[in-house]
């Protein structure tokens, strides 16, 4: 009898556990959605359904997330914590959420992301960290979020993005990083190359406007010509051209694949039109000056040749006239009168 009572109590507790719903939230047992938006919550609500798959906690007053904060809902696929006051995240906050796919932490006050934060989440596909105070994303972060397809870090304090982090996100399709104080110095060459490769492969990005140095302020890193980085150390510049060669090789390889193998049935795809290369002002001015100098020299040479030809023709004409006059005078001297010859003969006697 006692055993039956215990069994019944345990069963009732289990039923309550499965069907429970926090009083501050609205639960849908069919869709497995728990909606706790705008309830003035300071902490994660308890006694939620074990099989909850979507949890919406936007527009509350949550300030921190402790270790295993979502242990009651290990089957979560969507978690939205936007528009709260979160400043701290435990390295084990998401421990147990092995199936989480969408995580929204936008519009909070997060300053730092622990490199272990997303380790338990191997299935994360969409991550929104916009409108926070994050100054750095560690390169090793990619070890736990390498399945991301969409990442947003807009309106933060990022000055750089680690190239190793970006290279590890092989499934990434969209990246948004507008309105950060980006430094477009020599170390930004790797990011510029990655952006160009990412766009070539069909990725989606927004503007990456520079804040430093002042000469490049408000310019999009993608549109800055590589000549602007000529003052960088030669090692970086060689690395730059090595990567450009690598990108060009990938482009040729993709073109060969798009045309298919000989005898294949696939139709060749249209070759993408190359974007015009940005004009470099200094090179343009130098080209105009050199062209002007060369043209001036050629004109002077042509003028000199014309003057020389005219002078030569004048001299030759004058010489011909003098020669003809001399020929006309010569016979009259040889056929002189007898009166003129007699004194000469007498003098010889």
Q: 2-258 — its CATH code?
A: 3.80.10.10
What pLDDT score does 241 carry?
53
What pLDDT score does 282 carry?
66
How far is it, in rounded angstroms, from Cα 170 to Cα 12? Answer: 48
What pLDDT score does 285 carry?
80
> Of 60-69, 274-283, 287-296, 326-335, where does the model show the most confidence?
60-69
What pLDDT score does 311 carry?
85
> Of 11-20, 68-77, 134-143, where does the model show the most confidence?
68-77
- Over the chain, what is the mean pLDDT? 79
Domain assignments of the chain as residue spans, ordered by start? 2-258
Q: Give Cα 11 distance to the centre of its chain.
A: 58
Name which of 97-111, 137-151, 279-293, 296-310 the model is least confident about: 279-293
* Band of residue 23 on the pLDDT scale cut at 50, 70, 90: very high
Is the pLDDT at 36 greater than 60? The verdict is yes
Is the pLDDT at 134 greater than 90? The verdict is yes
Mean pLDDT over residues 116-123, rounded? 89
pLDDT single digits (tens) 248-262: 555 555 555 544 444
* Band of residue 306 on the pLDDT scale cut at 50, 70, 90: confident
Q: What is the dihedral of CA 297, 299, 305, 311, to 10 degrees?
A: -120
What pLDDT score does 187 carry?
87
**Residue 130 and residue 151 in contact, taking contact as beta carbons nearer than 8 Å:** no
Mean pLDDT over residues 311-319, rounded? 84
For residue 46, give both structure tokens: 């308890």
What pLDDT score does 295 carry?
86
């Amino acid at each position: 009898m006692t055993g039956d009572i215990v069994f019944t109590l345990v069963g009732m507790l289990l039923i309550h556990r499965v069907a429970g719903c926090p009083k501050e939230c609205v639960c849908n047992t069919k869709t497995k959605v728990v909606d706790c938006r705008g309830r003035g919550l300071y902490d994660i609500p308890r006694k939620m359904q074990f099989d909850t798959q979507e949890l919406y906690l936007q527009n509350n007053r949550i300030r921190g997330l402790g270790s295993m904060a979502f242990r009651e809902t290990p089957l979560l696929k969507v978690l939205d914590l936007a528009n709260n006051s979160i400043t701290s995240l435990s390295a084990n906050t998401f421990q147990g959420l092995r199936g989480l796919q969408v995580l929204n932490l936008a519009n909070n006050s997060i300053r730092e992301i622990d490199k272990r934060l997303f380790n338990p989440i191997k299935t994360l596909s969409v991550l929104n960290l916009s409108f926070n105070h994050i100054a750095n994303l560690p390169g090793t972060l990619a070890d736990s979020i390498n399945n991301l397809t969409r990442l947003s870090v807009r309106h933060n304090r990022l000055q750089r993005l680690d190239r190793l982090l970006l290279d590890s996100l092989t499934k990434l399709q969209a990246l948004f990083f507008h309105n950060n104080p980006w430094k477009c110095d020599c170390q930004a060459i790797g990011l510029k190359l990655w952006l160009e490769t990412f766009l070539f492969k069909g990725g989606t990005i927004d503007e990456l406007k520079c804040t430093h140095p002042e000469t490049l302020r408000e310019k999009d890193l993608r549109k800055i010509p590589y000549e602007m980085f000529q003052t960088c150390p030669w090692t970086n510049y060689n690395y730059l051209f090595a990567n450009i060669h690598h990108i060009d090789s990938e482009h040729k390889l993709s073109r060969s694949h798009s045309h298919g193998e000989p005898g294949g049935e696939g139709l060749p795809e249209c070759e993408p039109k190359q974007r015009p290369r940005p004009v470099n002002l200094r090179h343009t001015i130098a080209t105009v000056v050199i062209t002007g100098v060369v043209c001036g020299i050629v004109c002077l040479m042509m003028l000199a040749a014309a003057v020389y030809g005219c002078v030569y023709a004048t001299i030759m004409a004058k010489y011909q006239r003098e020669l003809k006059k001399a020929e006309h005078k010569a016979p009259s001297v040889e056929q002189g009168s007898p009166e003129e010859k007699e004194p000469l003969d007498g003098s010889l006697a």
